[in-house]
Every structure is written in structure tokens, then in C-alpha cells.
């Protein structure tokens, strides 16, 4: 496959975006919403002010953590659909580590972040063990464990960790202010979270593209049977890949607890796990575009909060646009493949 | 009568067929010969409508068309039999027979199968699944099906791999009958000159995508070889290296070993092999030789018995432990099982010899280019290599201290020159003291390169035959399940493997 | 006593009806070699569309048709992109799951918590008075009758007709099927559409009969994933798959009883209970391929008999691409 000229690539990218726009307008037509006004509200809601952009960054952090984490198992051709559950488990472990304390400092925060990583990694390991030793496809184990993690959260919130007096969907008792992650200026996003996301991004770049471990993982994904013959220890490596991803997702969950919601609540993951899968697919599982797609998706997510308030529309429109965009990427990929084959066939 | 005119078929830059014109007449048997990659299969697929030619035209029953589809080819009576029968293993015999035919009830289908089987001396149970049949039976079923569809032109793509000599005899008799009595056109695609010389009314020789010659009897064998291989055909293979007496400790020893694969288990078996010995495994598909090789290297389990290497027992048969003890397995399905299709040659080397990251280019030149004549840029992906280069790469990835080489069909898909190179290298290894255990569906290859032949039948070792005794007739009979005592005389039994014997180095 | 038992059975049939319909649909699609992973979203969008149409036109049966159309349309998108444009079926299916789910919530916003028509009950005259049978079938939702009829029809089509033979052929070996003049990609697309229509009918069954109405959440979220697991559990056989669907329905129904027994456990916990059971079921099914388990099975005659009668083999070409232009 030869690399096409940058202009051609750009033209195809434009075609993808146009297709996405057309498809979005087409599928949302039955709602009777004015398309251009809706889009205006959406972007103004995401980029209209500094505080809104702060919120976008607060979404970007967990989304990027999940999305770059996902690249690791995908290098081994594994679909870690369980990211969502791993985020939740990270949040649960993080809250558990904080439970006995009413107030604390940096040490407690670091322990809580570590607990989050551990929780996510262990939950991912469970999916990995089911895949490697039980031969349950990771799509089913991951998905099932997502629901189980949600069930555990609900049980905790309504059971042992319920707020004194009332148990409700609004979650556990809030954390003491001393346990909150420090904010970046006046913005809602924490600089600790941003720094951690960038660090994980760099770490995964090195791990996947600059290390022997990455090459071996790629080999395992490329052909697990040959990996056995090369004595690369495919099983151990697959489990490691799951755990790295789970760790990143767990960190995202911990940041959600410490930096965003300051408590454990049922919607702690905000479906970032599923959105991150869309990001990964849209980036064709390459690291480069991931942070930028995450930023765009974060703008959509934050902007969509304005829809019910200003236009009386459901906020799930952001999910629709994200889904349509990724689908458009696949359609354009497929069309290009089809055209090329037709040309080759003469 | 079928006339192919100026058929071209290009895959990217590769010209699989490069302007072929050909006339096939009824009642005649044609043999299409040529090396691997000469374009035989492509041409036949064009004729069967399974591939569209890039250009050219086909005249069939007086009609001129640019290309055929499977439906169109069938309507004109062209039927093709593939090397791996193109059937539905999980489905019963009668459904396999019926699929693609005009609508009939199950009862009618069963009647037709019965009638055809009677005529051609075959026997099928309609409700049995095809996966339980042998390759020979599956081919015969396909043949019956094509005849039922009214095929008058039969293309057989390398039909004799994986079937016994007796089954082959029956098949050839049947083809002869169809051509002589029913005026069918038969095209036999084959690598084996003996088959072509024996059967054909005309031999079509292909080389590098072109039809270089059409020979008619009486045949000149030397000229045929020259046409097929060009100058590469010079010189004979060297057979087996000499075997010296190398002390009492066998390289490999199995005591009451039971092996268990995903589909079946086999054993207990006793066997031993000496350093420097070449052991060929013969058997029909699924007779046990595949499990034997995979069990020896630890890919399939060995629940009972012991495996010893150089006198040292290897507990269980752990793959990693065996590998570091010098056991190396090379499967036949190179891209599917042995290589990473999307990784480069450099990355393969890096994975196998992790110590050479710094001097990678120099190491690549000495290890791959100079020793194995692997002429490819180190950044080439494994999937872009030819079969010969893939095998060269695999051989270059074997550590020098490997003492037991286990190979599945070492020359699969290779042309004559590459095959000879592979065998020269393997013989060198054996001369240096390594033991080779290999399997090939090509019986001649097994007989040519083995000190001893282990024959498998019905998921057990049927007999171990010394080189002196190992002829096509003997081994063929054992593969087909004849009693070893009848074939080899009273001395031989299924367990004669135990002693290991002095082998038969010439 | 018998009446309670009969009522429980009726409850299982009702809860199982949409699961059965969707399972049969997916079984058809997978038997042709295509994995439609979009089930969870398809069911939800079809449920929304069916309810919206029923409310707008006051005709629940028109709603069912619309739900089937939506299911088929989503499957059609997957089919065209997966079969003709050669993209990963799993990836496209997963995208469609999320897309359809969000689209359902977005478009269904204005129908949320509205009263609407449902499919009502079918009374079969004469059997209402028969003991035991009467309470189960005498006066029941038509989706139960539809689902039971669909089991038989699917089995009959797959194993007793020429079309079913071709269906299995393209899923088993597309190359061989192509060699016999079957238009593999077209057949696959057809069964993608047919399977999608059944999945859509399952969605309509939820919003018009089993859990009437629309809202966020509707209550059928997650069912699609359970169905995908049931298809594997059922070994791609419609009758076994339907039994699997009823098994899961029974678990759901027993969950309601358990909730009464353990009032301290919050209700949402019971809603996620099918998922660990799904994982355990798949674990049990797949463990049969692990070496030491096979040894055990071979040694034990009872287990051996059992494993032979419940052998589970996926269609050999499941999820594999086939391009006839590349030839055989």
C-alpha cells in the first residue's frame, strides 16, 4: 500500500466530515430540530467561555486515559470493551481507600490514585483471565463485567456506603475538600489530572512504539500461534496488556472521584469507556490522532448539556454525532478499498 | 470443445497467466504440468469460472465469452475438483451432493447418490457428515457430484496428494473410463511427471505464466523435465546423509507415551531416534502423524508416558522447556502458524535473536542473506515474501544448537530449486548431529529423505520401516491399513519401533 | 398451587418472547457467517420506533412492522459496510450499537413517559377452561404466539428447505458455496436483513407488550448482549437457542421473586444478575475445549455422552470476509 499524497488524504478527510454531517442531519430529521442552530448551540456550549473549556478539559482527561489505554490491548488485537467497568472499579477502589479518612493530604490522594489504578487493573485482569484461560471472548466478559461493576456501585451506594439517613442515586457522601485534586486556575479541571493524562500518553507511546515489549505484544496480536512457537509467552503478555489498559482506566475513575464529582455515584464513568472505544476506532487505533479526537468528542459532550436547556432536545445527540462520525470513517475506508480494488481489477 | 484464446490474468504486477491459447477436445486426457507458481491453477480457475481473466476470451460449445462464472461454467459442463476438496465438512453427504444442483427432495438425492455410487463402485452413507470421510472419499464424492450435474469437462487440481496409492489407482482407472467410454474431457493438473506420462494423451507444459509446449506421445522425459524447470533441473537430490555410530544414548526416546490433541488421542507409543537420523512420517491426513509432531514439541499434551532427550527425561512435555532443550518445530502453514504476516524480516530476527539489536544489519546479512540466500530487504513484511523465501526465513530463525528438528511438509509450495536447497540445508544439519523428524504428504519425498519411515494408520504407529525396505508399495500398503506382518514379514510388528535399530544409512 | 406454577410459566414465556425473537434473528445472521453485534442498540431503537409509530398512528401492529423495518435497516447498514466494503463486522456492529442507542434516546425524547397503545391479549376460545394450559395460553399477549411460531419456522427453514441448506453453506464455506454458483454476498445480506427484522420485532415486543412504553431507560437495555451470548450457548441451533432464551427469562422471573425474599438488596442489583450468569454460561460452554477438561470428559462416559449431544461448533466462516472477485 503506498502512502497517498497529503492533498488526497485531506480531500478524503473532508469527504468523511461531509458524509458525517449529512448522515447526522438525515438520522436526526425525525426529531424536527433545526440542524444548524443545533450545531451552533452544541459548539457554543463547548467552547463559548474559559470555564466551559475547563469543563471540556475535565472530560478530555478521563477520555484520553481510556482511549490510549485501549490501544495497548488492541495492539494484541484484543477488544477491551470492559474499559467502562474498569473506570468504575478504579473509582470504587479509590473511594474505598479514602473511606476511613475525613480529611487528608497529598499522601492520601496518592494512595487513592494508586488504589484506582489497582482496581482497574484487577478488573481488567479478570476479563483477561476469562479470555485467556476460560476462552470467553473479551467482548462478552468485558461487557458483562461492566454491568457487574455497575451493580457493585449501586449496591455500595444503596448499601454499606449510603449517606447517613438517605440512600439515593446522587451517590455517597462528598469527600472532604482537603482530598480534592487541586484545580487549574479557575477552571474545573485539575492540573494533576492533566499532568497524569499527558504522562500516561507518553508512557504508552514509549511502551508500544519504542520498546521490545511493544514489539512482542504486536507479534502476539499478529499471530498468537506463531508467538507460542517463538516462546513469546502470549498468555502472560495478553494479561499484561489487559492490565495496563485497566490501570489507565482505573486512574481515570480515580480522577473522576477525586477531581470531578468528589464522591462515588452510579454515573461515575459517564460512559467514557464506550466513547473511548469510538475514539480508538476513529483513530484506527493509532496513537497520534487520539488526543485530538478526544478533545473534539469532549467538546461535543460538554456542548450537548446545553441542548435540553436551550432547545428541549435530548443530550444524547453528542453520542449520535460521535457514532455517525466513526461510522463515516469506516464507510470512507471501505469505499476507498472498493475503488482501489476496482481499479486493480481493471 | 473448449478454446481458450490469449488469456491474461494479472495480480498486481504478477502475471499469473500471460497470453495462453489452448484447445481442449472431448474424449482426451490432458496433463497440465509445471512448477509451483507457473500459473496452472490460475488457468484452470479461469476455465472453471472461479476467477475472471484480465483479458482474453473463451469459446465454449460454440459460444464466445469474455469470462465464465461458476454457474455459466457448470451450464457448459465444466467441473473442477480442488486439491483440498471444496465442500462443506460440517454438513452431511447428501446436502454436500445437492448444494448447487437443481431442486430435488432428499429421497431423490439419496437415490441419485446410490445409483452413481453403484456405477462408479463407491459407497456413501447419505447422512454421515463429510468431515468423517477421508480426503480420497471426499474427492470421489465431488467427482460424483460433478458428473451428476452433467459435467463433461473435468479439471482435477493435484488430486493425488493425501490419498493412498490404491485410491490413486482407482481414481485413474475411473478417469480413463470416463474419457474413453463417455467421451469426457479430463484435465489433470499435477506436479508429478510419472502421473502425466502414465495417463495423458497430451502434456501441456507451463512455465512462468506461459504455455511453453504441448507434447504428445511418445514422450521424451528428459525434454519434459528441461521444459518444466529450465536449467534448474540439473542434478539429483542427494538423498540422506550418512549415519555414523554415535553411541548408545538416543537423541529422542518415547516410553509408553500417550499424546492427546484437540480432536483425538493416540498411544501408548514407544519410539527412539539417534543423533543425525532422518525420520520420515507417512500417513493419510488425520492418521496421527500431525499429533505425533505436535506432541513431540509440546504443542499438544502428553498426559502419560515419558519423553527423553539425550537420555534426560523431560517431565510432561512442556513446550518452553523442550524448546530450550533444543527441540524446534516448523509447521507447514508458514504464514498461518509460524510467521507474523505483518511484521518485517528485521522484526522477526529481533524477536528470535534479541541480543543483536545493535548490529542488526550485519547480523541479518550473515544469518539470512549469506547462509540462506534470502534475497529480500530486511524491511519487507513476511506476508510479501514468496513461499521459498518464507521457508528460508524460517530456517534462518532456527538456533544453531537445535538438536531435534520437527518439520511438517518442509517443501510445501516450493519450486524444485528451493526444495533442493531446503533439503541440502536439512541434510547439513543432520550431518552436524541434529535429528530430523518430518512429515510430507508426498510419499516420494518421505522415501527419498528418511533413514527410517514411521507409518501411521488409524491414529497409531502402524510400523517403522527401514530405508532398505521402504518402497512405495510397502509404505503405501501400510498407510492403507494392511497388516504389517503381511507386508513386512513375520519380524515386523507395530512395536518394532522400541529398539530404534541401527537405521539404514547407505 | 398449579395456578401459581402456570402463572410463573406464563411469565417466563412472556419475558422470554423478545429474547427468543432476537436470538432467532441473530442465529440466522450468524449461521450465514455474519456477526451482527449491534443487537443491543437495534432492539432499543426498534422499541422506540415501534412505540412512536403506535402512538402517532394509534396502531400497534403498524408499530411492530416499523420496528422490524428499523431492525432490518440497521442490519442492512452493517451488511453493506461489512460484506461489500470489507470492514470489520465487529467494529461496525459495535459502533451501530452505541449509535442506535443514543439515536433512540434522542429521537424518543418527546415520546418519553407517554401513554400509548400496546398489543393487548389474544384470547383463544375454548382453551381458557382447560386446567393448567388455560392460564398459560388462554388469554395471552400475541408476542408469545409469534415467538413460538418463529422457533418452529426458523428450524424448519434452516433444516428442511433448500434455502436453509444454502444459508448454512455460505456460513460454513463461502468459497465452496461460491464454487457451486451461490451468490454468497447476496445470500449473506438477505439473512442479515431477515435476522435484523426479527431483532426489530423483539424491540417492538418490548415496547408494545413486555415492558410497554418508552423512557430513558426503557428497561430492555443490555438484553441484546444477553442474546448474543445465548446464540453461542445455543450452538447456533434455533431450538436450543430458544431453550437458552427461556432459561435466561426464567432467571429474570426468579429475580423478581428473590427481590421479595431479600428486600434489603437494592433492585438494580437484580437487574445486573443476568450478566455474571452470562459469563459463567459462556465459561461452561467454552471450557469444553480446554485440554484437561477434555481428558476428564473422555474418561467419564456420562460426560462424554453429554458433550456429544451438546456439541457446539460455530459456523466455520463466522465473521470471515468473502470477496468473489479474488477468486477461489
Q: What is the DSSP string of A141-192?
A: HHHHHHHHHHHHHHHHHHTTTPPSS---TT-SPPPPGGGSPPBSTTSSSBHH
Asked if the structure places residue A99 within a domain, the reply is yes
Confidence of residue A1 (pLDDT cuts 50, 70, 90): very low
Strand B2-11 and strand B14-24: the pairing is antiparallel
Q: Using 50, 70 and 90 to split pLDDT, how confident is the model at C283? A: confident
Residue B270 lies in a domain: no
Last residue of a domain, one of B201, B233, B265: B233
> Smallest CA–CA separation between B293 and chain A, in Å?
13
Cell of B225: 523435465
**Chain C (110-129) residues lying within 8 Å, Cβ to Cβ, of chain A:** 110
Residue-averaged pLDDT of chain C: 88
Number of DSSP helices (H) and strands (E) in chain A, helices first? 14, 0
**Residue predicted with more confidence, B494 or B96:** B96
Check CB contact under 8 Å for A229 and B338. Answer: yes
- Does the CB of C312 have a partner CB in chain B at under 8 Å? no
Whether B315 is in a domain gets the answer no
Backbone φ, ψ for residue B99 (5° rounding):
-55, 125
Name the neighbours of B, counting chains with at least 3 Cβ pairs within 8 A: A, C
Q: State the nearest Cα–Cα gap between A232 and chain B, in angstroms.
A: 8
List all residues 6 or more positions away from A147 whose beta carbon is below 8 Å from its beta carbon: A85, C222, C272, C275
* pLDDT interval class at B497 (50, 70, 90): very low
- Residue B442: pLDDT above 50? yes
Residues B427, B429, B432, B434, Cα dihedral to 10° = -110
Backbone angles phi, psi at B288, to 5 degrees: 125, -15
> For residue B158, what pLDDT band results from cuts at 50, 70 and 90?
confident
Is the residue at B245 inside a domain? no
**Mutation to test the C interface, candidates A84, A85, A137, A143, most C Cβ within 10 Å:** A143
CB burial of C252-277 (b: ≥16 within 10 Å; e: otherwise) equals: bbebeeeeeeeeeebebbbbbbbbee
Phi, psi torsion values for B327, nearest 5 degrees: -90, 130
Q: Which residues of C touch B103 (CB under 8 A)?
A: 162
Cβ pair B39, B24 in contact under 8 A = no
Q: List the grid coordinates of A218.
A: 504486536
Spatial neighbors of B229 by CB under 8 A, at least 6 apart, are B35, B415, B416, B417
Shortest Cα–Cα distance, A9 to chain B (Å): 23
Task: State how beta strands B63-65 and B78-81 pair.
Answer: unpaired
Residue B415 has pLDDT above 80, yes or no: no
pLDDT tens for C216-248 read: 888 888 899 999 999 988 889 999 999 999 999
Cell of residue C15, nine digits? 419475558
Give, as one character, the DSSP assignment of residue B103: P
pLDDT score of C264 more than 50: yes
Q: What percent of chain B is modeled with pLDDT above 70?
A: 93
Q: What number is the average pLDDT over the span B12-38?
A: 85
Alpha-carbon gap, residue B447 to B429, rounded angstroms: 19
pLDDT of residue B491: 53
pLDDT score, position C147: 95
Is the pLDDT assigned to residue B490 strictly greater than 70? no
Range(s) for CATH 1.10.3470 in chain C? 2-272
How many domains in chain A? 1
Angle at C42 between CA C38 and CA C44, to 5 degrees: 130
Whether A34 shows a pLDDT value over 50: the answer reads yes
* B117-142: average pLDDT: 86
Give domain status of residue A54, yes or no. yes
Are the C-beta atoms of residues C21 and C42 closer than 8 Å to each other?
Answer: no
Partner-chain residue, chosen from A216, A225, A345, that has the shortest CB–CB distance to B351: A216
Whole-number Å distance between alpha carbons of C27 and C187: 15
**Per-residue pLDDT at B235 exceeds 60:** no
B279: cis peptide before it, omega within 30°?
no
Indicate if the alpha-carbon torsion angle C21, C25, C31, C37 is positive or negative. Answer: negative
Which residues in chain A touch residue C91, judged by CB atoms under 8 angstroms apart? 281, 330
CB contact under 8 A, C102 and A81: no
For residue B343, the 8-state DSSP code is S
Domain that holds residue A274: 49-287
Closest chain B residue to A343 measured between Cα atoms? B12
pLDDT of residue A159: 82
- What is the rounded distance in angstroms from the CA atom of residue C238 to the CA atom of residue C153? 9
User: Is the Cβ–Cβ distance between B406 and B327 less than 8 Å?
Assistant: yes
Cell of residue B413, nine digits: 509450495
Q: Please state, in angstroms and rounded to a whole number, the distance separating the CA atoms of residues B95 and B98.
A: 5
* Mean of pLDDT over chain A: 91
Residue B294 with chain A: CB contacts under 8 Å: none
Average pLDDT estimate for C83-88: 92
Answer yes or no: do B44 and B171 share one domain: yes
**Is it the case that residue B185 has pLDDT exceeding 70?**
yes
Name beta bridge partners: B214: B204
CATH pick for C2-272 out of 1.20.1530, 1.10.8, 2.60.40, 1.10.3470 = 1.10.3470
> Whole-angstrom Cα distance, residue C240 to residue C310?
9
Residues of B in contact with C175 (CB under 8 A): 86
pLDDT score at B506: 30
Q: How far from A119 is each of A93, A115, A204, A270, CA to CA, in Å?
A: 5, 6, 19, 18
Least confident of A153-157, A283-287, B425-429, C126-130: C126-130
pLDDT score of C227: 95
State yes or no: pLDDT of A225 exceeds 70. yes
- Beta carbons of B52 and A218 less than 8 Å apart: no
pLDDT digits (tens, 9 = 90+) for B443-485: 888 988 999 999 998 888 999 999 988 888 888 888 888 888 8
Residues of chain C positioned with their CB less than 8 A from the CB of B50: 178-179, 327-328
C30-68 in b/e form (b: 16+ CB < 10 A) is: bbbbbbbbbbbbbbbbbbbbbbbbbbeeeebbebbbbbb
pLDDT at position A3 is 54
A74-117 pLDDT, tens digit per residue, is: 999 999 999 999 999 999 999 999 887 677 788 999 999 999 99
Q: Are strands B301-309 and B312-314 parallel, antiparallel or unpaired?
A: antiparallel
Q: CA A328 to CA A325: how far, in whole Å?
A: 5
pLDDT at A283 over 90: yes
For residue A41, being part of any structural domain is answered with no
DSSP B113-131: HHHHHHHHT----TTSBGG
Quickly tell me which residue has 482537603 as its cell. Answer: A178
Q: Which of B131, B45, B70 has the alpha carbon at shortest distance from B96? A: B131
On the question of pLDDT at A329 being above 90, the answer is: yes
Q: Does A326 touch chain C (CB under 8 A)?
A: yes
The average pLDDT across B184-208 equals 87
Residues B338, B383: Cα–Cα separation, whole Å: 12
For residue B236, pLDDT beyond 60: no
User: What range defines the domain where residue B105 resides?
Assistant: 2-233
- Last residue of a domain, which of B202, B233, B264? B233
Question: Please, how many CA atoms are within 13 Å of residue B220, restricted to the half-sphere of its CB?
Answer: 7
Residues B216 and B355 in one domain: no
Task: Please tell me the distance from the alpha carbon of residue A213 to that of residue A218, in angstroms, as a whole number.
Answer: 9
Looking up residue B156, the CATH number of its domain turns out to be 3.40.50.300
Instruction: Name the domain boundary from B233, B253, B277.
Output: B233
End-to-end CA distance of chain B: 52
Residues B227, B345, single domain; the answer is no
% of chain C exceeding 90 in pLDDT? 57
Q: How many domains does chain B divide into?
A: 2
For residues B353-382, give the mean pLDDT. Answer: 84
pLDDT attached to residue A68:
96
Given the C-alpha cell 500518553, which residue does it identify? Answer: A201
Question: What pLDDT does B496 receive?
Answer: 42
How would residue B420 be classed by pLDDT, with cut points 50, 70 and 90? Answer: confident
Whether the per-residue pLDDT at B243 is higher than 80: the answer is no
Examine residue B268 and say whether the peptide bond preceding it is cis (omega within 30 degrees of 0).
yes
- For position C2, what pLDDT does the model report? 62
Q: Rounded to whole angstroms, how far apart are CA atoms C233 and C246?
A: 12
Amino acid at each position: 500500500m503506498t502512502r497517498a499524497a497529503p492533498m488526497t488524504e485531506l480531500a478524503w478527510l473532508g469527504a468523511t466530515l461531509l458524509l458525517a454531517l449529512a448522515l447526522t442531519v438525515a438520522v436526526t430529521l425525525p426529531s424536527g430540530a433545526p440542524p444548524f442552530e443545533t450545531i451552533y448551540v452544541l459548539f457554543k456550549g463547548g467552547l463559548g467561555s474559559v470555564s466551559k473549556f475547563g469543563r471540556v478539559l475535565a472530560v478530555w482527561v478521563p477520555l484520553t486515559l481510556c482511549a490510549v489505554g485501549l490501544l495497548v490491548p488492541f495492539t494484541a488485537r484484543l477488544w477491551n470493551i470492559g474499559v467502562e467497568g474498569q473506570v468504575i472499579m478504579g473509582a470504587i477502589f479509590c473511594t474505598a481507600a479514602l473511606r476511613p479518612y475525613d480529611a487528608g493530604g497529598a499522601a492520601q490522594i496518592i494512595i487513592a490514585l494508586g488504589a484506582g489504578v489497582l482496581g482497574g487493573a484487577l478488573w481488567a485482569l479478570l476479563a483477561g483471565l476469562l479470555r485467556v484461560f476460560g476462552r470467553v471472548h473479551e467482548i462478552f466478559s468485558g461487557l458483562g463485567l461492566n454491568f457487574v461493576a455497575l451493580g457493585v456501585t449501586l449496591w455500595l451506594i444503596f448499601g454499606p456506603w449510603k449517606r447517613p439517613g438517605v440512600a439515593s442515586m446522587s451517590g455517597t457522601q462528598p469527600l472532604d475538600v482537603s482530598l480534592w485534586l487541586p484545580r487549574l486556575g479557575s477552571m474545573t479541571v485539575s492540573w494533576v489530572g492533566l499532568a497524569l493524562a499527558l504522562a500516561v500518553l507518553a508512557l504508552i507511546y514509549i511502551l508500544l512504539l519504542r520498546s521490545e515489549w511493544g514489539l512482542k505484544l504486536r507479534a502476539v496480536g499478529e499471530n498468537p500461534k506463531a508467538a507460542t512457537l517463538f516462546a513469546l509467552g502470549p498468555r502472560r503478555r495478553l494479561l499484561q496488556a489487559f492490565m495496563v489498559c485497566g490501570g489507565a482506566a482505573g486512574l481515570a475513575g480515580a480522577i473522576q472521584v477525586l477531581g470531578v464529582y468528589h464522591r462515588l455515584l452510579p454515573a461515575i464513568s459517564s460512559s467514557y469507556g464506550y466513547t473511548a472505544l469510538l475514539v480508538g476506532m476513529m483513530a484506527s487505533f493509532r496513537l497520534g490522532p487520539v488526543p485530538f479526537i478526544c478533545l473534539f468528542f469532549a467538546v461535543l459532550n460538554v456542548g450537548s448539556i446545553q441542548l435540553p436547556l436551550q432547545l428541549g432536545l435530548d443530550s444524547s445527540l453528542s453520542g449520535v454525532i460521535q457514532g455517525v462520525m466513526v461510522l463515516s470513517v469506516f464507510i470512507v475506508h471501505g469505499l476507498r478499498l472498493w475503488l482501489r480494488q476496482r481499479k486493480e481489477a481493471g | 470443445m473448449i478454446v481458450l484464446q490469449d488469456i491474461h490474468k494479472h495480480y498486481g504486477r504478477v502475471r499469473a497467466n500471460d497470453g495462453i491459447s489452448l484447445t481442449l477436445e472431448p474424449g482426451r486426457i490432458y496433463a497440465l504440468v509445471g512448477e509451483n507458481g507457473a500459473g496452472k491453477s490460475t488457468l484452470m480457475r479461469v476455465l472453471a469460472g472461479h476467477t475472471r481473466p484480465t483479458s482474453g476470451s473463451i469459446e465454449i460449445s460454440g459460444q464466445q465469452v469474455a469470462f465464465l462464472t461458476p454457474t455459466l461454467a457448470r451450464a457448459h459442463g465444466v467441473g473442477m475438483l480442488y486439491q483440498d476438496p471444496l465442500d462443506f465438512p460440517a454438513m452431511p453427504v447428501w446436502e454436500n451432493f445437492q448444494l448447487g444442483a437443481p431442486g430435488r427432495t432428499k429421497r431423490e438425492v439419496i437415490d441419485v447418490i446410490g445409483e452413481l455410487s453403484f456405477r462408479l463402485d463407491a459407497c456413501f452413507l447419505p447422512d454421515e457428515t463429510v468431515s468423517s470421510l477421508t480426503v480420497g472419499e471426499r474427492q470421489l464424492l465431488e467427482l460424483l457430484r460433478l458428473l451428476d450435474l452433467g459435467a463433461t469437462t473435468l479439471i482435477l487440481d493435484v488430486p493425488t496428494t493425501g490419498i493412498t496409492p490404491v485410491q490413486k489407482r482407482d481414481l485413474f482407472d475411473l478417469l480413463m473410463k470416463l474419457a474413453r467410454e463417455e467421451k469426457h474431457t479430463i484435465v489433470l493438473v499435477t506436479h508429478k511427471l510419472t502421473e502425466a506420462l502414465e495417463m495423458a494423451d497430451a502434456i501441456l507444459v507451463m512455465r512462468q505464466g506461459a504455455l511453453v509446449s504441448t507434447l504428445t506421445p511418445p514422450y521424451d522425459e528428459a525434454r519434459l523435465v528441461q521444459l518444466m524447470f529450465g536449467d534448474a533441473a540439473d542434478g539429483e537430490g542427494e538423498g540422506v546423509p550418512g549415519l555414523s555410530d554415535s553411541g548408545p544414548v538416543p537423541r529422542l526416546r518415547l516410553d509408553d507415551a500417550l499424546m492427546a490433541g484437540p480432536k483425538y488421542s493416540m498411544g501408548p507409543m514407544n519410539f527412539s531416534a539417534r543423533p543425525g537420523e532422518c525420520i520420515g512420517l507417512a500417513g493419510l491426513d488425520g492418521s496421527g502423524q500431525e499429533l505425533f509432531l505436535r506432541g513431540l514439541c509440546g504443542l499438544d499434551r502428553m498426559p502419560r508416558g515419558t519423553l527423553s532427550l539425550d537420555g534426560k527425561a523431560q517431565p510432561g512435555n512442556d513446550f518452553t522447556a523442550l524448546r530450550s532443550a533444543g527441540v524446534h518445530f516448523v509447521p507447514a502453514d508458514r504464514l498461518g502458524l509460524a510467521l507474523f504476516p505483518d511484521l518485517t524480516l528485521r522484526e522477526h530476527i529481533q524477536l528470535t535473536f534479541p541480543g543483536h539489536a545493535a548490529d542488526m544489519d550485519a547480523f541479518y546479512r550473515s544469518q539470512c542473506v549469506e547462509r540462506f540466500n534470502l534475497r529480500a530487504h530486511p524491511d519487507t513484511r513476511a506476508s510479501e515474501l514468496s513461499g521459498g523465501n518464507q521457508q528460508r526465513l524460517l530456517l534462518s530463525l532456527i538456533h544453531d544448537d537445535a538438536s531435534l528438528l520437527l518439520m511438517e511438509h518442509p517443501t510445501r509450495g516450493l519450486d524444485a530449486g528451493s526444495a533442493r536447497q531446503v533439503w541440502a540445508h536439512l541434510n547439513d544439519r543432520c550431518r552436524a548431529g541434529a535429528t530430523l523428524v518430518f512429515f510430507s504428504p508426498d510419499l516420494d519425498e518421505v522415501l527419498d529423505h528418511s533413514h527410517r519411515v514411521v507409518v501411521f494408520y488409524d491414529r497409531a504407529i502402524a510400523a517403522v520401516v527401514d530405508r532398505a525396505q521402504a518402497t512405495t508399495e510397502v509404505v503405501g500398503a501400510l498407510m492403507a491399513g494392511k497388516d504389517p506382518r503381511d507386508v513386512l514379514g513375520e519380524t515386523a510388528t507395530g512395536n518394532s519401533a522400541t529398539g530404534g535399530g541401527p537405521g539404514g544409512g547407505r | 398451587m398449579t395456578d401459581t406454577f402456570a402463572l410463573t410459566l406464563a411469565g417466563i414465556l412472556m419475558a422470554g418472547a423478545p429474547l427468543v425473537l432476537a436470538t432467532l434473528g441473530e442465529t440466522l445472521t450468524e449461521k450465514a457467517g455474519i456477526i451482527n453485534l449491534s443487537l443491543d442498540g437495534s432492539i432499543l431503537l426498534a422499541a422506540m420506533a415501534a412505540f412512536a409509530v403506535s402512538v402517532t398512528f394509534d396502531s400497534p401492529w403498524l408499530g411492530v412492522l416499523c420496528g422490524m423495518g428499523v431492525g432490518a435497516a440497521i442490519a442492512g447498514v452493517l451488511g453493506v459496510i461489512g460484506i461489500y466494503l470489507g470492514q470489520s463486522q465487529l467494529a461496525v456492529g459495535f459502533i451501530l450499537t452505541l449509535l442506535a442507542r443514543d439515536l433512540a434516546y434522542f429521537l424518543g425524547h418527546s415520546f418519553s413517559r407517554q401513554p400509548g397503545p400496546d398489543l393487548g391479549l389474544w384470547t383463544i376460545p375454548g382453551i381458557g377452561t382447560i386446567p393448567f394450559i388455560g392460564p398459560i395460553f388462554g388469554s395471552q399477549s400475541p408476542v408469545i404466539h409469534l415467538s413460538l411460531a418463529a422457533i418452529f419456522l426458523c428450524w424448519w427453514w434452516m433444516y428442511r428447505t433448500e434455502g436453509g441448506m444454502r444459508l448454512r453453506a455460505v456460513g460454513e464455506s463461502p468459497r465452496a458455496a461460491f464454487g457451486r454458483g451461490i451468490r454468497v454476498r447476496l445470500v449473506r445480506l438477505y439473512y442479515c436483513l431477515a435476522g435484523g427484522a426479527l431483532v426489530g420485532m423483539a424491540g417492538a415486543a418490548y415496547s408494545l407488550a413486555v415492558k410497554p412504553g418508552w423512557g430513558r431507560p426503557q428497561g430492555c437495555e443490555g438484553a441484546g448482549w444477553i442474546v448474543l451470548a445465548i446464540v453461542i450457548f445455543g450452538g447456533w441451533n434455533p431450538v436450543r437457542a430458544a431453550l437458552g432464551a427461556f432459561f435466561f427469562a426464567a432467571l429474570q422471573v426468579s429475580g423478581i421473586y428473590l427481590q421479595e425474599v431479600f428486600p434489603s438488596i437494592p433492585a438494580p442489583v437484580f437487574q445486573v444478575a443476568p450478566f455474571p450468569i452470562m459469563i459463567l454460561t459462556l465459561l461452561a460452554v467454552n471450557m469444553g475445549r480446554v485440554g484437561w477438561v477434555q481428558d476428564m470428559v473422555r474418561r467419564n462416559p456420562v460426560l462424554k455422552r453429554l458433550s456429544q449431544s451438546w456439541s457446539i461448533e460455530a459456523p466455520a466462516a463466522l465473521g470471515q470476509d468473502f470477496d468473489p472477485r479474488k477468486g477461489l
